[in-house]
Structure 1
Amino acid sequence: MKYLPLLLQNLEKEAEIHEKDIFNYALPQSWNLFGYSDTRILRNNEILVNPYAFYHYSFQHLFFDEKGKLKKAQSLVKKDWLKKANIYSLHIRSASAWDHDRDDNLNENLYGLKDNGTFLKAMLLLPFYKRMGINTILLHQIFSLGKTHTTHDYSNKECVLDFRLIDDQLKDPLVPQLSAKQQCIAFMEACHLLGFHVILEYCPGKMSIDNFYARECPEYFYWIKEEEYKNYHAPICHALPQNTLPFSYTLKDFYRSEDVKEHIQKFVKHDDPCKKVLAPAFSDQINANLPIDEDTTYFRFYEDIHTHAPAELKKAGIPYMTQDIIRADLHPAKKPFTALWDTLTENIIWYQNELQVDGIFLGKPFLIPEKLQKQMAVQAKKNKKGFVMIAEDTIHENGALWKRKGYDAISGNSAYEETQIEQYRFHNFAYQLKGCVCPMFAASEFYDSRRSSCLENGKTLTNMLSIMNMFLPNGIPMYMNGVESYEVQPLQLSEYGDQKYLYSLPKSDTRYLKQAYIDRYYYNYLAHDLNTLPTLMEHANHIREEYIEEIHTPQACIPVWFDTPRDAGIGFTYVKEDKALLVVCNTNVHQSVHLHIHTENLMSELPFRYQSILQIYSTNDPYIHDVFMDDFQNIPMDFAPGEIKFIEFKAQ
């Protein structure tokens, strides 16, 4: 613990220096978690404060005990901690952003302070996440980004200049003595002090088009003639369908395409004396009909070209980039750039040693060779005991493959399945989880999907999915930042997503058409129902913690059945030696329903004779009630829209 105490000491000095300064610095009242009283309360539930005094006061209560000493760090779970994780996906730049000087934009404000989120301001929100039952932070995009060619304020989160250069925008000028890297480490230390694990997103397959690596190692990238840039596009093959993945059987037709041949002619060697530029990235799918990504480029992982490419191209020896080349996991070559592989692996070791992270979320792993995927997992776990590796993969059947590579979990496809309630895709996802070899995220939304709150009866849907995800067998609940304020605008909608969701906010909102991951954006911390979901999560998490071992033990889980597979019910029972928890939700967020909860399989598998059945909690009713069975030993119950009931069987 080095930089957190240093940050707090310098903040105290700055508070003394600016003690008598007058500030028109606004904050959401919901950020005042420790009752700072020297405020002026505004009608819209903002408060005006001296920022130095406010943060110093808040951190004194957050990090110090009554004797004025730094609190002892909460003990972190070491063994199998990922299975017990409750993850909050945090994008600091937007999650702790606010228009502090109230000028209707998030630029640097009139005091030279920052409206965008910073590491320091994000620390203030940690107790709020803790209350929600969160114990793990998944940290997105903390590295400096390259310039963008889009109409957005920022490049996408993969447009990194240097994998070890912390974004200076996330440095808070309230503590000017500490660099961006030092403030980043202080944030990590704060997380660990309060009992959070930290997982860092890392996407080593691509970088900014103006990245720093290309200057020193141009051979690691693909280059095109400068005059060809204006005509550069993803090559098209009319003999193949739209959105075709470049599997081996497609390549014969692919390389016959005249457009593909013309595309390849644009490339030159890195040491060619002609004027050249880095080749912009494009989709890994053939005929995706998507524009090129002028902000990013791909790494070249091999000196040679894979065996499925035409002989004349391999003989020519000019590195080129096509959809099959991008998919280094599908088409590895034979001569890897070992130094590049080692550098990308050593970055993870650097994150462990310097930034003190506890795990890596590997973004877009299909862009890197399978051997490199394995190398990263092996080296990371060898260097730090208890370190976890998670792969972004939406195909749940691939879980077993990732397990063999040394990974602990995958992202899964929950965000694209769960919100499609009427099609029973949430049912399918939930009930298949128990049989999955590899744990996966249970989430109602990902950064590139629509937000669940933007759908019909979205708040009820978000509440139901958020709580039920905490009780899915073999699932790791994960929440995108802003879920607690029922944000409706996509964080960064995928190019494959329905563009109508970009219009989820009204034109009168200053954030209209903006997306939190690529635009200046803030979350609605003034919402009147800001505490609704956190309160539900707080109660549900107390129950989850008691049954966490059983949730991740297949033998302790008994799926719950209803009258028909088309009933609007999902349920699971988790069994201990002397008690069992039955969790059932009504997936119909529009109407109340009456469900018959069948207990035939439950009664035959309970290891004890129950003496009482109680409803110990409900998302619509916090009180304890007796529960009765009918003559057929079923439990008939009425459920409000989206309601989840927790029923406990006890031996005594």
Structure 2
Amino acid sequence: MIRHNHRVNQMLDYFADCRFPKTEPIWIPALWNECGYVSTLDSKDGEILVEPARFMVKHLQYLLELSSDYAHTDQADLDDSVIYCSLLRYSSAWDYTHTGNIQSGTFLKFMILLPLLKKMNVNILYLLPVTRYSNMNLKGDIGSPYAVYNLFDLDENLHDPLLDGMENLTIHDELATLVDACHLLDIKVVLDLIPRVGARDNVFLAEHPDWFYWIDLNALPGFQPPHIAGLEFFTECTPDKLETIYRSKETLSFLNQFRLPPNELDSRLWNDLKKRALESGESLLPLIEQEMGITPAPAHSDWINDVQPIWTDIAFFRLFKDPSPLVRPYLPEGQPPYVLFDTIKCNLYPGEEPNRELWDTLIEAACFQLKTYNIDGFRVDIGHTLPVPLLESMFKMIKDMKPAAILISEDLFNRNHREAAKTGYNVMLGSGWNIMTDIRVERLQDYLRELPELQIHVFACSETADTPRITSRGGTELARLMTVFNYFLPNGIPYLTTGMEVYEEQPLNCGLGDNTGGADIPKAFFNTMAINWASESTLLPLLGQLQQLKRQYANLLEPANFYLSDSQGDILIYSYYLNDELFSACFNLNPDQEQTLRTELIYPGQKKTSLLLESEQGGWNRLSSEGTYEMRPYEAVVLITELIK
């Protein structure tokens, strides 16, 4: 098979060229030095000082050498996969110049991390949005990557100044080179596709204002979805709730805030404003707000009585030109286009007149990204709310171009696994993020029972980019315990959020499972931040052990062999049994007290039990009674038992 390494070689030649402009040395985390670069100029506190060009030569040479250990395949083995989720500008952000300022991560700098990812056995890299995002209505100091300004362009901050001298190189080439480098190590690359929302000043606004929902500008301060009396917190918008929603006075007041799109409200003024913006270079949206008194409606949750704040930087695309027939009887006469719980979920509440031009553009964007960067698939942002015909058309185009494409659904609950699989997804987020917010034996047992029956693989994780860090819930001990817990789950793919490998406590976001009480803390989705890469303690050795066990016992660790053992106090146990061999993972979920594990209760009869792994070295203490052990708080152990007949 042809190895697509020409871009990587071109970059290597560029850095090796004696005409490469002299640049100042940079500090990088010592942990990144997987290539064994020895010509460091200085080192201290977990960092090394390097000449960037010389370091990149050594690193790229090492990457090419390392690639001989891997054969890139089109199809990912999801049963033997590990997903690494990265926000590139954050994952490789660092104070490279020691000026006290964190510099953005880049496509090039992230290439330095690839050997480290292989050390963690990563074979799927999931990149949070790398598309160009809006600088208007910023959240935090740099803004959300989900406020996509243009689906056909990339975030210019991900360009690396070290590449300024490389002729004819575009930022699109920089991402394509990163993808090539990943493929050399048999790492599939999945991009975040954002087809449901866009920045409120999205590039589509000028030519397609009717692709958005508009409200009176005076309604913007305090804009929020209606609270529906009589319905509980975080209630799903099912058809039986529609009458309650639309009979509510708050809903009527909410609907009254919506206005026609600017081209329909006043076509002459609209054309004048477009012309003025084009000629003067002014941003179009402020002109619309100033001269027409309307603005795109900020996006909000599709769950009724959700406490999540509205997303002031993004707006929903208007995927249908008409509302669902199910809600038309409840609408005031002449109601302008509006967005609410049901219209957001137009998978369940489609209109009868699709916005075909918008649909075609969204499909075109997916195909553009697939072709331009040679990626391996997409995680579709809130894709479970998209019209099924749109998804089916999009997936057909994607699979025509990439038959083995990885397609990840953001659906938050395992119960929707059949629908996700039927739609064409092969991986979904699932319920893990929610279960791990309240770690108790009964709760985890309920979660485990449903996993073997799933028709689709799910993220096996205790944190995501949208949740607080697991370390913030119970320290490094809990982080290690849950890493072990998630590694052997039936139909689960171990999922690592960037920074988890060094026990990072600062979140990327806290939109789900928030444990901060709503505190206004820095979040990497919106603020300039760096991971604690200089940490002395890492998950790397444990991750290596886990993957070794998973491959060693691959035939045993099949969903058909899985069963849930009886708990012992606060000790949760799940097992796999085949041919008189028993693999058991045991977890003391008590944060404060030791718990006694009796191995004879896991499976009766004569047997020989051996320790395969413990989450904390030296914590495995046998008591006087044979087969009885004391497990420390938040300790995990993995046992292998041979049954003697």
TM-score bucket (shorter structure): 0.7 to 0.9
Residue 548 of structure 1 aligns to a residue in which SS?
Answer: coil
Alignment of 1:368-379 (within 5 A): 368-379=386-397
Q: What's the offset of the Cα at 1:371?
A: 2.7
SS in 1 for 2:495: strand
Whole-angstrom distance in 2 between the partners of 1:105 and 1:522: 10
Matched, 1:94 2:90: yes
Tell me what 2:40 maps to: 39
Give the structure 2 partner of residue 346 of structure 1.
Answer: 364
* 2:316 aligned with 1:298: yes
Deviation at 1:195, TM superposition (A): 1.7
2:590 corresponds to which of 570, 575, 588:
588
Matched, 1:9 2:13: yes
Structure 1 distance, partners of 2:44, 2:580, is 53
**What displacement does 1:191 show?**
0.7
| 2:114 maps to 1:126 | yes
Counting only pairs closer than 5 Å after superposition, residues 572-587 of structure 1 correspond to structure 2 as 572-575=575-578, 580-587=582-589
Q: 1:525 aligns with which of 533, 539, 552?
A: 533
Q: CA contact under 8 A between 1:41 and 1:47: conserved in structure 2?
A: yes
Q: Is the 8 A contact 1:450 1:501 kept in 2?
A: no
In structure 1, what is the Cα distance between the partners aligned to 2:25 and 2:397? 50
CA distance in 1, matches of 2:441, 2:473: 15
Partner-residue secondary structure (3-state), 2:574 = strand
Query: Which of 181, 197, 212 is equivalent to 1:190?
Result: 181
Q: Which residue, out of 501, 506, 515, partners 1:489?
A: 506
**Which letter maps to 1:11?**
F
Give the distance between the partners of 1:244 and 1:424, measured in 2 at CA: 23
Alpha-carbon contact 1:615-1:627 (below 8 Å) kept: no
Q: Which residue of 1 aligns with 2:80?
A: 84
Secondary structure of the structure 2 residue equivalent to 1:308: coil
Task: Pick one of 550, 559, 583 that aligns with 1:554.
Answer: 559
Aligned counterparts of 2:387 and 2:100: Cα–Cα separation in 1: 46
CA distance in 2 between partners of 1:227 and 1:578 (Å): 71
Q: Which runs of 5+ in 1 are unaligned?
A: 66-70, 107-114, 504-512, 604-608
* Equivalent-residue separation in structure 2 for 1:403 and 1:203 (angstroms): 20
- Whether the aligned pair in 1 keeps the contact of 2:622 and 2:629 (CA below 8 Å) is no
Q: Does 1:468 align with 2:470?
A: no
- The question of 1:636 aligning with 2:638 is answered no
- Number of equivalent positions: 610
Counterpart of 1:515 in structure 2: which amino acid?
Answer: K
- Indicate yes or no: 2:143 matched with 1:155: yes
Quick one: structure 1 residues 596 and 495, their matched pair in 2 at CA, closer, same or farther if it must change by over 3 Å? closer
Distance in structure 1 (CA, Å) of the matches to 2:363 and 2:604: 48
- 1:535 paired with 2:541, answer yes
Deviation at 1:369, TM superposition (A): 1.6
Q: Could you list the runs of 5+ residues in structure 2 that have no partner in the other structure?
A: 267-291
Q: Say what the alpha-carbon RMSD is for the aligned residues.
A: 3.1
1:578 Cα deviation after fit: 8.0
Q: For 1:20-79, what per-residue CA distance to the aligned partner results, in whole angstroms no more than 9, with x for missing partners?
A: x5x2522222222223233233442322222222222222222247xxxxx548224555
Mapping 1:293-442, distance limit 5 Å: 293-311=311-329, 313=331, 316=334, 318-422=336-440, 424-442=442-460
**Which residue of structure 1 aligns with residue 288 of structure 2?**
none
Kindly state the Cα deviation for residue 381 of structure 1 after the two structures are TM-superposed.
Answer: 2.6
1:192–1:263 Cα change, 3 Å = same
Letter in 2 for 1:554: P
- Mapped contact 1:569–1:585 kept (Cα < 8 A): yes
Letter of the 2:208 counterpart = C
Question: Which aligned pairs between 1:499-510 and structure 2 lie closer than 5 A?
Answer: 499-500=516-517, 502=519
Cα gap change, 1:306/1:568 in structure 2, threshold over 3 Å: closer, same or farther? same
Distance 1:96 1:220, change over 3 A: same
Do 1:594 and 1:638's aligned partners in 2 also have CA atoms closer than 8 Å? yes
Taking the aligned partners of 1:7 and 1:399, their CA distance within structure 2 comes to 43
TM-score, length-normalised on structure 1? 0.85
Shift of 1:642: 3.2
Higher deviation after alignment, 90-99 or 78-87: 78-87
Which amino acid is 1:209 matched to? R
Do the aligned partners of 2:565 and 2:602 also contact (CA within 8 Å) in 1? no
Per-residue Cα deviation, 1:479-501 (whole angstroms, up to 9, x for no partner): 11111111112211117724348
Counterparts in 2 of 1:262 and 1:12: CA distance versus 1, 3 Å: same
SS at match of 1:164: strand
Distance in 2 (CA, whole Å) between partners of 1:5 and 1:543 is 35
Q: Does 1:569 align with 2:572?
A: yes
CA distance in 1, matches of 2:306, 2:621: 55
Higher mean displacement: 460-469 or 414-423 = 414-423
* CA deviation after TM superposition for structure 1 residue 270, in Å: 4.7
Does residue 522 of structure 2 align to residue 514 of structure 1? yes
What letter matches 2:370 in structure 1? Q
Q: Is 1:181 aligned to residue 172 of structure 2?
A: yes
Distance in 2 (CA, whole Å) between partners of 1:378 and 1:548 is 33
Is the 1:615–1:626 Cα contact (8 Å) retained in structure 2? Answer: no
1:240-255 mapped onto 2 (5 Å cutoff): 240-255=231-246
Letter paired with 1:516:
A
Aligned residue identity for 2:589: T
Pair 1:263-2:264 in alignment: no
Q: Secondary structure at the match of 2:202?
A: coil
Structure 1 residues 550, 482: closer, same or farther in 2, change over 3 A?
same
For residue 412 of structure 1, report the CA deviation from its aligned partner. 1.0
Q: 2:26 aligns to what? A: 25
Assess, with a 3 A threshold, how the Cα gap between structure 1 residues 38 and 649 changes in structure 2: closer, same or farther: same
Change (3 A) 1:340 1:205: same
Identical residues among aligned pairs (%)? 25
- Counterparts of 2:262 and 2:177 in 1: how far apart (Å)? 40
Confirm or deny that 1:105 pairs with 2:106: no
Aligned position for 1:142: 130
Is the Cα–Cα contact under 8 Å of residues 613 and 628 in structure 1 kept in the other structure?
Answer: no
| 2:55 corresponds to | 54
Q: Any conservation in 1 of the 2:301–2:341 contact (CA below 8 Å)? A: yes
- Shift in alpha-carbon separation, 1:154–1:426, aligned structure 2, 3 A: farther
Q: Give, as a single letter, the amino acid of the residue that structure 2 aligns with 1:369.
A: P
After TM superposition, give the deviation of residue 342 of structure 1 in Å: 2.7
Aligned-partner Cα distance in 1 for 2:378–2:554: 23
The answer to whether the Cα contact below 8 Å between 1:132 and 1:534 also exists between their aligned partners in 2 is yes
Residue 510 of structure 1 is matched in structure 2 by none
Moved more, 78-87 or 481-490: 78-87
User: 1:80-108, CA deviations, whole angstroms, 9 ceiling, x for partnerless residues?
Assistant: 622321111111111111011222222xx
Q: CA deviation at 1:535?
A: 0.5
1:544 to 536, 540, 550: 550
Structure 1 residue 595: deviation in Å? 0.8
Measured in 1, the distance between the counterparts of 2:155 and 2:241 equals: 41
Distance 2:38 2:136 in 1: 42
Q: Distance in 2 between matches of 1:241 and 1:601?
A: 43
The 5-angstrom pairing of residues 186-265 of structure 1 reads 186-226=177-217, 228-230=219-221, 232-238=223-229, 240-265=231-256
- In the TM superposition, residue 349 of structure 1 has moved relative to its aligned partner by 2.7
Cα deviation, 1:222-258, whole Å, max 9, x if unaligned, reads 2234455457443444465544433323322333334
Cα deviations by residue, 1:118-161 (Å, 9 ceiling, x for unpaired): 11111111111211222211111111111242450233232111
Distance, in Å, in 1 between the alignment partners of 2:444 and 2:620 is 28
**Amino acid in the other structure paired with 2:506:** Q
Question: Distance between the aligned counterparts of 1:258 and 1:578, measured in 2?
Answer: 65
- Distance across 1 between alignment mates of 2:366 and 2:94: 32
**Structure 2 CA distance, aligned partners of 1:226 and 1:625?**
66
> Structure 2 CA distance, aligned partners of 1:429 and 1:463?
19
Q: Describe the shift of the 1:602–1:389 C-alpha distance in structure 2 as closer, same or farther (beyond 3 A).
A: farther
